[in-house]
């Protein structure tokens, strides 16, 4: 396959060398005469393990050339990768000047080229950049996206020092696209690369690199804070984290990584607080660990704000315990939401088949009575009575009996805290706490008639 890569820096040079090693013909494009001359003489533009060998082999085989001529590169390739830098501004924003300049050059070249062309964004960019690149190419080429060209997002996940290995042995290849022809061509380009080939929404693909790298940074800082606490206690921190990583069911796993409501229960709040206190007692600063509780409280506040914004007085809470299948109310996050709503004058009805007030004892009873002393006035054992008497339904766990709510009770306002449905076709207003709209029904967009205003609180 014939490809061009704009930007012969770290990402571009590695991509050029690896693609050539896979048998593709690569044209490297850069504004720097020095980088172009290096590649033309068979030498890489960066220092990286194995890169010299691959660039020389590509040069010798004639599969790698370099130019400063953007028009030549586009004319003689079917896919153009954008791999130029996106440096930070003083304010922390990304500078997309290089990206947009290259988009303009590609557009000008496409104006004179026949045939369908694919532009693949390899640079790390925020959601929305792909769309703007397409607009620039349309403006400069006079051609139409998805008719004459398309723009896909293909973020890289390379580590310096192992970039060649990472490129040729990735955990996955990610393509954000809205054009089937482009997907097929990109799949063919990467057919010899192991790992899952994932096609997703363009904006999802654009977001992934930031999520990955921020989480990697979080892991490093979390490990360091744990290490600092362990050092103060004369505990082997490396042994602690070695054992921590052996748990692939919870610790190193997809578990807990679904956006949703706040955590609760008897363990997470208690034990994280104990660790924070332990660190404080030994004068160890742990800002990341300390911020966990604050972030959790913010998610509770977000839930309250969502419900209040609906402007309807009658609210049904579906689920009171901290998760489905239990009657444990200790530190249940929805209890704090209920407490806040009662304080704001809402008329609440609560249903949880697992919570029987007459059977609540011990610390479970002490906790709930301290939060909501008159709980018996709000809890019902009849789901239909709660739902029928409420304008807003707040779904707090994934009990099976809640599955058919949209079908059985059309027109209600649903606030979903747990992603109880992946998609709904529902004649009513739906909102999830940490995800966009999944309601495909047009009635979702009808204005909600409010019977109370925020000024009443």
Q: Where are the beta strands (DSSP E) in 296-343?
A: 314-318
**What is the C-alpha to C-alpha distance for residues 313 and 347, in angstroms, rounded to an integer?**
6
**What is the C-alpha to C-alpha distance for residues 233 and 450, in angstroms, rounded to an integer?**
56
**What is the C-alpha to C-alpha distance for residues 40 and 28, in angstroms, rounded to an integer?**
10
The full DSSP string for 220-231 is: HHHHHHHHHHHH
Q: Just list the catalytic residues.
A: 267
CA torsion angle for 263, 266, 268, 274 (degrees, to 10)? 140
CA distances from 377 to 73, 348, 356 (A): 74, 9, 13
- Strand-by-strand arrangement of the 117-121 sheet: 64-67, 25-29, 2-6, 79-82, 117-121, 149-153, 172-176, 196-200
The full DSSP string for 128-143 is: THHHHHHHHHHHHH--
| 150, 159 contact by CB (below 8 A) | no
Angle at 179 between CA 175 and CA 180, to 5 degrees: 90
CA torsion angle for 74, 34, 209, 100 (degrees, to 10)? -50
For residue 334, what are the contacts with CB-CB under 8 A and spacing of at least 6?
Answer: 261, 264, 303, 317, 319, 320, 322, 394, 396, 417
Comparing CA positions, the residue from 167, 170, 163, 159 lying closest to residue 195 is 170
Comparing CA positions, the residue from 353, 349, 352 lying closest to residue 315 is 349
Computed from CA positions of residues 282, 288, 294, 296, in that sequence, does the dihedral angle turn out positive or negative? Answer: negative
Give the distance from CA 166 to its chain's centroid: 21
- Collapse the DSSP code of 412 into the 3-class scheme (helix H, G, I; strand E, B; otherwise coil) and give the result: coil
| Segment 191-194 long-range contacts (CB within 8 Å, at least 24 positions apart) | 192/22, 192/23, 193/22, 193/168, 194/169, 194/170
């Amino acid at each position: 396959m014939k490809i061009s890569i704009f930007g012969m820096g770290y990402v571009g040079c590695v991509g050029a060398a690896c693609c050539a090693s896979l048998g593709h013909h690569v044209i490297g494009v850069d504004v720097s005469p020095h980088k172009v001359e290096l590649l033309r003489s068979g030498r890489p533009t960066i220092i990286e393990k194995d890169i010299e060998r691959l660039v020389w082999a590509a040069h010798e085989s004639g599969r790698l050339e370099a130019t400063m001529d953007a028009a030549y590169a586009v004319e003689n390739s079917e896919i153009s990768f954008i791999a130029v830098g996106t440096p930070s501004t003083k304010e922390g924003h990304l500078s997309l000047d290089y990206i947009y300049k290259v988009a303009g050059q590609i557009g000008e070249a496409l104006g004179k080229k026949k045939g369908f062309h694919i532009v693949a964004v390899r640079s790390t960019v925020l959601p929305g950049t792909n769309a703007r690149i397409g607009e620039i190419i349309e403006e400069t080429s006079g051609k139409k996206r998805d008719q004459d060209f398309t723009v896909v997002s293909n973020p890289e996940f390379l580590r310096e020092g192992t970039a060649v290995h990472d490129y040729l042995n990735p955990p996955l290849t990610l393509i954000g696209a809205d054009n089937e022809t482009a997907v097929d061509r990109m799949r063919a380009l990467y057919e010899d690369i192991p790992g899952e080939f994932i096609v997703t929404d363009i904006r999802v693909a654009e977001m992934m690199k930031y999520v990955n790298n921020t989480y990697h940074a979080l892991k490093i800082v979390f490990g360091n804070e744990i290490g600092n606490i362990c050092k103060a206690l004369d505990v082997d921190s490396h042994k602690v984290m070695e054992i921590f990583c052996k748990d692939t069911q919870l610790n190193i796993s997809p578990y807990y990584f679904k956006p949703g409501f706040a955590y609760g229960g008897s363990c997470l709040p208690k034990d994280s607080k104990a660790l924070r206190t332990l660190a404080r007692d030994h004068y160890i600063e742990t800002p990341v660990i300390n911020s966990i509780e604050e972030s959790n409280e913010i998610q509770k506040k977000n839930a309250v704000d969502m419900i209040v914004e609906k402007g309807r007085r009658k609210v049904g809470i579906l689920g009171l315990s901290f998760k489905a299948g239990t009657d444990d109310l200790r530190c249940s996050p929805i209890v704090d939401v209920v407490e806040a709503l009662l304080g704001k004058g809402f008329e609440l009805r609560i249903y949880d088949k697992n919570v029987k007030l007459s059977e609540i004892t011990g610390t479970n009873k002490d906790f709930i009575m301290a939060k909501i002393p008159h709980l018996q006035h709000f809890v019902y054992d009849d789901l239909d009575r709660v739902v029928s008497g409420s304008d807003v339904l707040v779904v707090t766990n994934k009990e099976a009996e809640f599955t058919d709510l949209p079908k059985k009770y059309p027109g209600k306002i649903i606030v979903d805290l747990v992603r109880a449905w992946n998609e709904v076709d529902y004649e009513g207003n739906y909102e999830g706490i940490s995800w966009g709209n999944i309601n495909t029904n047009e009635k979702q967009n009808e204005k909600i008639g409010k019977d109370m205003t925020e000024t009443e609180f």
